[in-house]
Chains A and B, each alone.
Chain A
Amino acid sequence: MSSFVSFTIIGIVLGSTYAIAASGLVLTYATSNVFNFAHGAVGMVMTFLYWELYVHQGWPVWFVLPFILLIVAPAFGLVMELLIMRRLTTANTTTQLGVTVGLMVALIGAGQLIWKPGGRRVDAFFNGSKVSFGVVNVTAQQFITLGLALAVALGLYVLLNRTRIGTAMRAVVDNRELLALHGARPNVLSGLAWALGSSLAALTGILLAPQLNFDHTTLTFLVVSAYAGAMVGRLKSLPLTFVGAIALGLLTEYGQWLYTELPTSWITDSEGVIYGLKNSLPTIFLLGVMLVLPQEKLRVGRVTGTKLPRIPSWRTTMLWSAALLGGSYLLTGAMGEANNARFGQTMCLPLIMLSLVLLVGYGGDVSLCQLSFVGVGALVVARGFDIPFTGLGFHSQISPLSIVTAFLLTAVVGAIVALPALRLRGLYIGLGTLAIAGAMDRSVFESGLVGFGAQGSTIQVTRPSWLSTERSFALAVVVAFVVTAWIILAIRRSKYGRILLATRDSQAACATLGFSTTMTRVAVFAMSAGLAGVAGVFFAGMSVTPGTLNFYFFQNLPLLLFAIVFGVTSVTGVLTGGFVYGCITSTFIVGQHPDLVGLAYIVVLVMLRLLVNNPNGLVGLLFDQSRRIMSRPDAVSAPPGSAAAREPYPATAGLGLEAPVGSA
């Protein structure tokens, strides 16, 4: 019983920290309409700064805390608002997602550059001294956390409901223009919100630091739990957000409690499934909340469509394919086997990203669980599959059969994921798929029963004998890329491509034409997942020992980010984006210069500034430029409004109108 009480207390305390983080998210979202994926990363950087000043430099805590919470963090929030967020308020979801994820990645990069990973700890306040209440002890840290959460709740309530500034902050999201006509400064108001939000993120990080692995990613991704809390309040209501956060804190800790009470034999028998389920409770909670959110209505009257890069002619496609294959052949011939392996692994990323072209580029949906589909594909080939009664099957063997099976199985998984996701749009579908990816990680991939196992991978994938060298398999990956690209371009040219774009551009118009967009979205999810699954087979073959870490859920964020930055609407875009991302993470740099990773991420952020105005990414920008330079006559449209250029209607009787319109 006493353990139940102490888990309750820990749960409430944990929920309180989530609540502080979540209220910061809600505050910034409500005033600027931008969902800040980098919220946790801001907290992370501030927590490291706290460690630097307090632990490393030995400054007194009474100075460091106010200095960070009241000066550094708010200033950081103001700068973010001024440089980035202000421009995002009217951008589409994909751009918002791309930019805030980019900021997050850049902050992690910067954090790793300044503070090398490893070996840090922060003591709890008052050295972890405790007060005993009969059966349970409550630490000073827990008291302080609870007190601060209450203070934040009360302070925000008073600010938003009892002051004019607060009223204006609630008004700014309704109608920014009207508030300006009232004489209030909307930019100052959202600056204030971002300053506060950033300070709350810092507070969360500092409160959690003593209890956690003190590293860049753990702190950054704690915020996923905050997403769940904020989602309960539908990103609007602060009281509901607090309720949601506390509920999540309790759920997490009760899960932990149940886990300790279960017979040990159950846990070992499940080979990590129960352990994984317990650890993915926050993501399962998030997913559950997403699913009960009311469905969005059809929206009418919005600007539709963004211009996509032109479809290349078959001839161009042919030439480029030949150039890519030929170039790879020559390159791999000139390099040694070790570098060929790196090249092959790098080329897997463009292959994976191709599946995003269909879903994100053409379909206008967002997926943050694409790597999970890749993982499923890798899992299919790694663990093997027997087709009942036929005697057909494969075990850890790359073969046409394993590729087809991986495609079909992943497509089915994709369709299943699409079903709940269909109810959602934009940001929510992004968060929903991220939650799915998180849950897949812990309950499927980490499990020894159905997945790769938690401690690295022990499964070896065998290549066919004629592809056994690194060079030959790397070339096979390039061939797979070319074939997939041809499939995607064929879809784009076909009736299905047109329908896909139409669905993205206007759901309302589709409905009034009598067309159901549901099937299209399920189909594109399934197709995209299937292609990712095939990429997974090649990835498994290239790396030989695929493991959980390859598909870790938050790697979905940089994956989508690089695709968007370089241009997720074109094959060329994902080829370059994937190649650059592959270079940074998997091979050339990580192997020799780990320091450069952070720097590379910061460079990405700079490129993001270009993206804000260009949904087709850097490659789209290049396309536009080159077209301007080499504009051919057939690319130029008829002069708008030229009545002479128009063919006459098959006119019936004479005109029914006596006078022309208007009398000016």
Chain B
Amino acid sequence: MALLEVDDVHVRFGGVVAVNGATFDVDEGTIMGLMGPNGAGKTTLFNVITGLQAPTSGTVRFDGKDLKKVHPRLRALGGIGRTFQRLEVFGSLTVADNIRVAAEMRGIENPARVRDELLDRVGLRAFAHVTADSVPTGIARLTELARALAVSPRLLLLDEPSSGLSEVETEDFAVLVRSLAEDDGRSVLIVEHDVELVLGLCSQIHVLDFGSIIASGTPDEIRKDKRVQDAYLGADEAAAAEIEEAV
């Protein structure tokens, strides 16, 4: 059984369809990627999974349990952690305290040790004593990641984690995420527009366009998929008709 099952989720805002029947699974200990152009519904889908947005229809199951009407806080207690595309760091705390306070909120033993371990693991030592609202975006993103890790989630949702990271930082980041899955056995669902990062990192990828999943597969399959190229570059007439049928 998959850890996370998203089944036929629809979300509408007024007359606008943001997610249109998304269906996919995330298995334990794997890195799953969600790609798609701007406005394809990726972040909305994340909000549905974490409970910040109620779906118009469809179900989300975590560890076999239906999450309908489960408060975001209880989902987090069940083991779903996330980072935000538009940052939600605790801006008036230092980077180190951002991590520590997360452990403290959950009553985890020895929060200072959790903080020290994660500062090293995520590579935030140099920024430990800087307040989070004055660090560069990339560092703030890593701070959110470390904060999420402080409460040991089973499933980690990363929303556009690489934007604001330099090339070197992105490489380091990829190594870290891989270690989260391989060494810790966590599942990671990653939304990213940096195609190269997703293709290099994930074992399984779903491509979202107009709120629907238009392609799924391994990085190699995705690379070769004509429809993915069309989704990113815009389809020619024939392909457009094809997608029309698929939708």
Contact = CB atoms under 8 A, between A and B. Distances in A.
Interface of A: 298, 300-308, 495, 498-499, 501-502, 504-506, 508-516, 637-638, 640-643, 645-653, 655-662
Interface in B179-238: 179, 182-183, 194, 196-197, 200-201
26 contacts: A300-B84, A304-B89, A304-B133, A305-B131, A307-B134, A501-B92, A502-B98, A508-B84, A511-B72, A511-B73, A512-B72, A512-B80, A512-B82, A515-B73, A641-B139, A643-B166, A649-B121, A649-B122, A650-B179, A655-B171, A655-B175, A656-B201, A657-B197, A657-B200, A661-B167, A662-B167
A394 B182 CA distance: 67
Given A512-B50, A656-B178, A304 B90 contact: yes
Interface stretch (B15-23, B32-40, B102-110): B102-110
Interface in B95-133: 97-98, 100-102, 104-106, 111, 120-127, 129-133
A302 B89 CA distance: 10
A275 to B, nearest CB: 45
B227 to A, nearest CB: 23
A499 B196 contact: no
A513 B196 contact: no
B180 to A, nearest CB: 10
Contacts of A506: 88-90
B92 A514 contact: no
**Residue among B102, B124, B183 with the most chain A CB within 10 A?**
B102
Nearest to A569: B92
Nearest to A641: B136
Contacts of A643: 166, 168-169
Contact of A656 (B72, B93, B147, B174): B174
B170 interface: yes
Interface of B: 47, 50, 52, 71-74, 76-77, 80-82, 84-93, 97-98, 100-102, 104-106, 111, 120-127, 129-136, 138-139, 144, 147-148, 151, 162, 166-172, 174-176, 178-179, 182-183, 194, 196-197, 200-201
B52 A298 contact: yes
Nearest to A504: B92
Contacts of B89: 304-305, 505-506, 509
Nearest to B101: A498
A410 to B, nearest CB: 27
B133 A301 contact: no
Contact of A649 (B92, B123, B147): B123
A515 B90 contact: no
A505 B91 contact: yes
Nearest to A300: B52
B69 to A, nearest CB: 15
A270 B227 CA distance: 80
A306 B90 CA distance: 9
Contact of A300 (B47, B138, B176, B200): B47
A653 B89 CA distance: 30
A219 B101 CA distance: 48
Contacts of A512: 50, 52, 72, 76, 80-82, 148
Given A641-B139, A642-B126, 6 more contacts: A498-B104, A508-B72, A512-B81, A514-B151, A655-B171, A659-B196
Given A506-B89, A648-B123, A656-B201, A515 B105 contact: yes
A660 B197 CA distance: 9
Q: Which 9 A-B pairs have the closest CB atoms?
A: A305-B91, A514-B76, A301-B86, A515-B105, A637-B130, A645-B126, A514-B77, A657-B200, A509-B88
Nearest to B89: A304
Contacts of A513: 76, 81, 102, 105-106, 147-148, 151
A600 B60 CA distance: 61
A445 to B, nearest CB: 36
A647 B76 CA distance: 30
Contacts of B105: 499, 502, 510, 513-515
Contact of B132 (A305, A308, A638, A653): A305
Contacts of B171: 655, 657, 660
Contacts of A658: 200
A652 B151 contact: no
A92 to B, nearest CB: 13
A661 B195 CA distance: 9
B91 A509 contact: no
A660 B90 CA distance: 31
Nearest to B150: A513
A265 B85 CA distance: 67
Contacts of B102: 513
A661 B235 CA distance: 24
B175 A652 contact: yes
Contact of B92 (A301, A505, A641): A505
Given A502-B105, A657-B171, A646 B125 contact: yes
B91 A306 contact: yes
Nearest to B151: A513
A661 B196 contact: yes
Contacts of A657: 171, 174, 196-197, 200-201
Contacts of B200: 656-658
A301 B166 contact: no
A656 B147 CA distance: 25
Nearest to B127: A638
A516 B76 CA distance: 11
Contacts of B72: 298, 508, 511-512
A637 B134 CA distance: 10
A515 B104 CA distance: 10
B172 A649 contact: yes
Nearest to A647: B125
B86 A638 contact: no
A649 B175 contact: yes
